[in-house]
Amino acid sequence: MKRLLPRILVLLILFITFPAEWVASLIPGFNRWFDAVISPPWVHVVIHFSMFTSLSIVAIWLFEYRKQPIRISQVLTVVMAVAFLQEALQMLGGRHGLGGDELLDFGVDLIGGTFGYALYYLASKLWNQNGRSRPKERPFPES
């Protein structure tokens, strides 16, 4: 698992930064689907929130496996760096510049990252509260 986590993090970052809107503009059938399913604002917010919550949790796991102290500032730095990269790639796609929608995305990404951190923190507290200490060995085999 130790070697797998960095790969999972890279794949998640590639997924988040994938220029789906640009690809949709090139493929007519995908464009219609994208506009119908992904483009509504509430769906866009839910997707951003989910992706960056996941990114936060995977980043925390990676910090934990490397036996580094986990600080929310580190986790949110990773989250915002990926959020900036994702928005920059969208702007390079040429469909829009920096505006209110992008600022909303940054805010949702930050909230998602913070939620992932809080979720992980609460799950750890509940795990420890139920009489379980953090295992020295991981539940997954080291590879």
Q: What is the pLDDT of residue 116?
A: 94
Where helices occur in the chain by DSSP H, the ranges are: 4-17, 20-26, 28-37, 41-65, 72-92, 100-129
**Longest pairwise C-alpha distance within the chain:** 56
What residues does each domain of the chain span?
4-128
Q: How far apart are CA 29 and CA 31, in angstroms?
A: 5
Q: What is the pLDDT of residue 95?
A: 61
Q: What is the pLDDT of residue 140?
A: 43
Structure tokens at 100: 């209110």
| Residue 48 one-letter amino acid | H
Q: What is the pLDDT of residue 80?
A: 94
Q: How far apart are CA 112 and CA 120, in angstroms?
A: 12
Q: What is the pLDDT of residue 55?
A: 93
44 CB-near residues (< 8 Å, 6+ apart): 38, 105
Q: What is the pLDDT of residue 73?
A: 87
pLDDT tens string 66-75: 676 778 888 8
> What angle is formed at CA 23 by the lines to CA 56 and CA 36, rounded to 5 degrees?
80
Contact 94, 35 (CB under 8 A): no
Is the full-model pTM beyond 0.75? Answer: yes
In this prediction, residue 143 has a pLDDT band, given cuts at 50, 70 and 90, of very low
> What percentage of the chain carries pLDDT values higher than 70?
83
Q: What is the pLDDT of residue 74?
A: 87
pLDDT tens string 6-52: 888 888 888 888 877 777 778 888 888 878 887 788 988 999 999 99
For residue 90, pLDDT beyond 90 = no
CB half-sphere exposure, 17, CA atoms < 13 A: 18
Q: Average per-residue pLDDT in the chain?
A: 81
